[in-house]
Amino acid sequence: MINYEGSFNDASSLKVGIVIARFNDLITNKILSGCLDCLKRHGVDTSNTSKNLDIAWVPGSFELPIAIKALLNKSDYDVIIALGAVIKGETSHYDVVINEASKGIASLAQEKSVPIIFGVLTTDNMQQALERAGIKNNLGWNYGLQAIEMANLMKELK
Ligand code: INI
């Protein structure tokens, strides 16, 4: 039996792309900080001169898929992390935004065979979003860890 598991030990050779929505940037900036902290502590060069990390900003979560596709066509990434915050109480087109973002991200990961971490917070209100973006727990850290695990797993499965 072969037991495939993505390791968390060393992420220093991974090429990581982050695509992040500015909408609700109070939340998305905090998630980004948690995510970068995790990547850095696992060996990814997160400095401004890094050759292993690129970050692309989009207006809202709806635009995440098209920017991810462009990034994947531009360079070889081991993993992409999509970051956004869609807050139910704040929008009537919550369902449209979240459906299009999730559908687009899922189909791109399959099409390109590159793992894309779904780091889009979907919450009922701003309080819940704040709690998940650092007040209680920063899910950005989890997204970073999941990215490392999936990138290393995909390398093992090649
Ligand atoms: N985008 C988000 O990322 N989160 C939201 O909660 C949100 N709301 O509330 O509407 C949102 N809307 C913008 C959308 O993603 C697009 O940027 C916009 O419709 C332009 O295409």
Domain residue limits, the chain = 43-81+93-157
Residue 120's DSSP bridge partners are 84
Which residue's CA is the nearest one to ligand 1's atom 18? Answer: 60
Residue pair 78/151 in contact by the 8 Å Cβ criterion? yes
Ligand 1 centre from 157 Cα, in Å?
36
Substitution site in 27, 57, 97 for ligand 1 pocket (most atoms within 8 Å of beta carbon): 97
Which residue's CA is the nearest one to ligand 1's atom 16? Answer: 60
Give catalytic status of residue 93 as yes or no.
yes
**What would the pLDDT profile of 95-147 be if each residue is shown by its tens digit?**
899 999 999 999 999 999 999 999 999 999 999 999 999 988 999 999 999 99
Ligand 1 centre from 79 Cα, in Å?
24
Write down the pLDDT at residue 9: 83
Write down the pLDDT at residue 91: 62
Could you please state the CATH topology (level 3) that the domain comprising 43-81+93-157 is classified under: Rossmann fold (3.40.50)
What are the phi and psi torsion angles at 5 (to 5°)?
Answer: -145, 130
- Using alpha carbons, select from 30, 6, 127, 140 the residue that is nearest to residue 81: 140
Write down the pLDDT at residue 90: 62
Q: Would you say the pTM of this structure is higher than 0.95? A: yes
**Shortest-distance atom of ligand 1 to CA 61:** 3
* Residue in the block written with tokens 């309080």: 127
| Alpha-carbon gap, residue 82 to 100, rounded angstroms | 13
Write down the pLDDT at residue 10: 83
**What would the pLDDT profile of 30-82 be if each residue is shown by its tens digit?**
999 999 999 999 999 999 999 999 999 999 999 999 999 999 999 999 999 99
Arithmetic mean of pLDDT, 144-153 = 97
Picking from 3-17, 84-98, 113-127, which range would have the lowest pLDDT averaged per residue? 84-98
| Alpha-carbon gap, residue 117 to 115, rounded angstroms | 6
Write down the pLDDT at residue 93: 81
* Residue in the block written with tokens 């989009």: 58
From edge to edge, which strands make up the β-sheet containing 79-87?
53-58, 16-21, 79-87, 116-123
Residue 119's DSSP bridge partners are 83
At 2, the pLDDT band (50, 70, 90 cuts) reads very high
Q: End-to-end CA distance of the chain, in Å? A: 17
| Alpha-carbon gap, residue 18 to 10, rounded angstroms | 19
